Structure formats: structure tokens, C-alpha cells
Amino acid sequence: MKKVVKFGGSSLASAEQFKKVGRIIRKDESRRYVIPSAPGKRTPDDTKVTDMLYSCYSLASMGDEYEEEFEAQLAAIRDRYDAIISGLGLSVCLDDEFKAIRTNFTGKTGRDYAASRGEYLNGILLAAYLGFEFIDAAEVICFDENGNFDGDKTNQILSSRLADAENAVIPGFYGAMPDGKIRTFSRGGSDITGSIAAKAVQADMYENWTDVSGFLIADPRVVKNPKAIDVITYRELRELSYMGATVLHEDAIFPVRKEGIPINIRNTNSPEDKGTLIVEGTCRKPRFVITGIAGKKDFASITVEKAMMNSEVGFCKQVLEVFEENGISIEHMPSGIDTMTIFVHQDEFEEKEQKVIAGIHRRVEPDFLELESDLALIAVVGRGMRATRGTSGRIFSALAHANVNVKMIDQGSSELNIIIGVRNHDFDAAINAIYDIFVNTMI
């Protein structure tokens, strides 16, 4: 059994957190390859080391005038690591590392290089603490000359490098281009490194340790104490994260998904919790009919009505072209016989509204155009819905009981999700009503 384990910033924010991580890794010897993030927040108003590095680098680029601020910020970053070193009683000294960092920052080596030092230094400390080999991600995570991640090359290099290592720590978030220049993934990208490493070693499991016990059925800011999701498929996760549920970087799914490697989201602060298992497919019956509910607010809708539009070839295309020409992306598009409705992000749409209306009039001469704003979309997602009759019926009666007026409904043809449009101000009530009927009443 081989596991790749990734620890997020809050799991490695202090010596105390390092100790928890150490206990988790030592408890299971299959946890052989470890991907750390940079130290994150220790308290809610703390600053992540990655953000400190970005601002330190901007100070360095602003020239001599800001030298004092630059030095102070660099010292504050160093303090974060020194506190971990002394808290763990390590005999690591970062003098040379910080000398190189100062030279490279003032020599304008690049923002990506700057940000990557957070993971790099944390990797050195974690490897020393665990007694694992340290492998610099710059040697094994490859980007091409245009800065795009090179999956094939990386897989080749990384898998042969890790075949020789019994245990290793590989910092997350960055790699290097062919000329050696450091390049990072987008924010939160250590999740991606973990996934790439899991693929390279053909791991049995990719454990992603964070500060929550997995995905929750609904957003805890909306529903009080929502239950956690035990098992979720990649497709369900995609639907939910599109609607705003975030725990894992979206790009972290692709490398492992293709290999059928499951991801287990776990909580460093509560390691006994099983967390959420993300799998390609499962015949395990879900605990509830729905797997999760997520949603987003602030949409506008444009309803185009024209008698007999269904028989007019290319009608939809013409309408959609107007949005394309104005650079507005379409979020959702339910349609009726003589109507089609287009949901767009309100802020994106507002400034171009009149141009879009004029464009639609010119192109398709509609009988009627109606605009609405302050709408929210809610996705109810679940592989269990396919096998259960009456799911939408239950949703609607729950919403009716909660006095929520449903503006739109759309069931994806995969039967994996039902999207419901409501007014912004009904958003919380609607999610709570759906959660209640599918979860609370089933316990």
C-alpha cells in the first residue's frame, strides 16, 4: 500500500501543527510521499507565508526607497520558519537559504520564484522533522517553455525519481521550466502537486489533509452544522465545485481521476474523522438521496420569447452569438417551447445590458424580452437521485412550504443534478428547506 499525503497551509502553520502532521504520518507507514504547503494562518487574522512572500517581493521590486520595509518583511517571514525550527527542536539553519532568497528577490528573479519559497522552506523543515528525503519540486515538476504544466515529462521524471526513494517530501505548488526558471500553479496549487505525485507512484490513495473533515452536504454559513459527505464521485464533485463548494483545487482532480486513484479529504485537527472519499464510481449506496447542495447568488436572467421559435432554425445560435460578441459567458440556459432564458453573472452583464438587448432585437426580432436580476442558482446534486422517484417533487413541496418562489428548474440529462433558480433573498431559506427534507428528516 502506497499513499501520497498532502498537508495544507493551516496543517503546517506552526510547530504544534507540524507535530500533529508527524503523528499522522508515523501512524501509517504507507504514507510515504509527503507534499507540504507553505505555512498558512495560525489564527483567523494571521497572514499566510505565501502572501507575505508576494508582498515582500513587491517591496523588493519597488527599489531602494522601500529597503527598510523589505528587510522587515523578510525578517517576519524568517521568524515564521525559525519559530517552527525552535518549536520542534530541529538543528536546521536557514542562513544560506535566506541569503539566496534576498539576492534573488533584489535581483528580480520573479514572483513565482518568490511565492514558491514558502513551500520550498517548509519542505526542508518537514523532511528534517520526519527524517525523510527532501526532493526539490524544481527538479521533478516540469513546465514547458510557455509556462504550461508538462504532464508527460513530469510523470516520467517523477516516477523514476520516486522509485528510488522509500520516503520523500516534495514541496507543493511549484516546478520549473526547461531553463530552470521557477513556475507556480495557481493559488492553492499544492493540491495539484499531490495529485501529480499520486499518479507518478501509482498510489493506492491520495490523502489531502486540511482543516475540515471533508466536504459538507451544504455550506455551513447557510445550514447549521451540516453533515459531512462520506463518498462523492468526481462528477458530483465537479457539479458542486462549479457552484462554489471549494475545498480542493479543481485541477487536482484530473491526474488521479484518469488513474482511478481515490482522494481522501481528511482533517489534521481531527484525524480520527474519516473525511470524504472522492472516487470515480461506486456502487455503495449513498446515505441520503442527495450528495450535496451548493449555490451562487447574483445572476441576471434574460428571457427571449417568440412565437414558433422552435421551428426557426438557428434561433438559439443567433441569440447566443449576441452574448459571445459582448464577451459575456453564459451560466445556464433553460428553455421552453417559445421561450429561452439565459442566466448570466449580473456584474458582468450590467454594463453591457443595453447592447445585448439591442443585439437580440436586431438578430431575432423577439415578441418579448424580459430581464430579471438578483437571482440565485442552487444545484442539488446526487447520484442517488437517478434511482429515486419523486426527488424533484420533494424539492418543490419543501420549497413551497418554506414560501420560496421557484423561478426556474432544470434537471441535467445525467439526472445527477437539479438546478433551481430563486431570488437572492430566498437563497438561504431554499437551501435549508432542501437540506431539511433530504437530510434532517432521514436521520
Beta carbons within 8 Å of 238's beta carbon, 6+ residues apart: 250, 253
* Smallest separation, CB 194 to ligand ASP (Å): 9
Find the helix or strand (DSSP H, E) in which 34 lies: strand 31-36
Rounded to a whole number of angstroms, the minimum distance from the CB of residue 76 to ligand ASP is: 16
CB distance 316 to 302 below 8 Å: no
* Nearer Cβ to ligand ASP (123/275): 123
Q: In this structure, which amino acid lies at residue 88? A: L
Site size toward ligand ASP, by CB under 6 A: 13
Asked whether position 50 contacts ligand ASP by CB under 6 A, the answer is: yes
Contact predicate 207/172, CB 8 Å = no
Residue given cell 517591496 in the structure block: 59
Out of 3, 48, 117, 183, which residue is the one contacting ligand ASP (CB under 6 A)?
A: 48
Q: Are 263 and 254 in contact (CB under 8 A)?
A: no
Q: Would you give the binding string for ligand ASP spanning residues 57-96, x where CB under 6 A is met? A: ----------------------------------------
Contacts of 42 (CB under 8 A, 6+ apart): 13, 14
The per-residue b/e assignment along 357-374, b for 16 or more CB within 10 angstroms, e otherwise, is eebbeebbebeeeeebee
Report how far apart the first and last C-alpha atoms of the chain are (Å, whole number).
35
Contact status: 189 vs ligand ASP (CB under 6 A): yes
One residue of 190, 267, 291, 432 binding ligand ASP per CB under 6 A: 190
- Which one of 184-192, 228-236, 281-289, 317-325 is the stretch in contact with ligand ASP (CB under 6 A)? 184-192
Q: Give 79 or 350: the residue with its C-beta nearer to ligand ASP.
A: 79
Indicate the residue whose CB is closest to ligand ASP.
Answer: 190
Task: Kindly tell me which residue out of 70, 123, 143, 172 binds ligand ASP, with binding defined by CB under 6 A.
Answer: 172
> Quick one: which segment of 137-145, 183-191, 260-268, 358-366 binds ligand ASP (CB under 6 A)?
183-191
* Candidates 98-106, 189-197, 317-325, 393-401; binding stretch for ligand ASP (CB under 6 A): 189-197
Nearest C-alpha neighbor of 182 from the set 190, 193, 174? 174
**C-alpha span between 10 and 43 (Å, rounded):** 9
Q: Does 187 bind ligand ASP (CB under 6 A)?
A: yes
Which H helix or E strand runs over 305? strand 292-305
Cα–Cα distance list, 160 to 14, 35, 164, 410 (Å): 33, 17, 7, 48
Q: Report, in Å, the least distance between residue 141 CB and ligand ASP.
A: 13
The three-state secondary structure class of 272 is coil
Which one of the spans 186-194, 303-311, 349-357, 429-437 is the region binding ligand ASP (CB under 6 A)?
Answer: 186-194
Regarding 171 and contact with ligand ASP (CB under 6 A), the answer is no
| Touching ligand ASP, residues 5-34 (CB under 6 A) | 9
Examine residue 173 and tell whether it contacts ligand ASP (CB under 6 A). Answer: yes
Cα within 13 Å of Cα(405), Cβ side: 5
Binding site for ligand ASP (CB under 6 A): 9, 37-38, 48, 50, 118, 172-173, 187-191
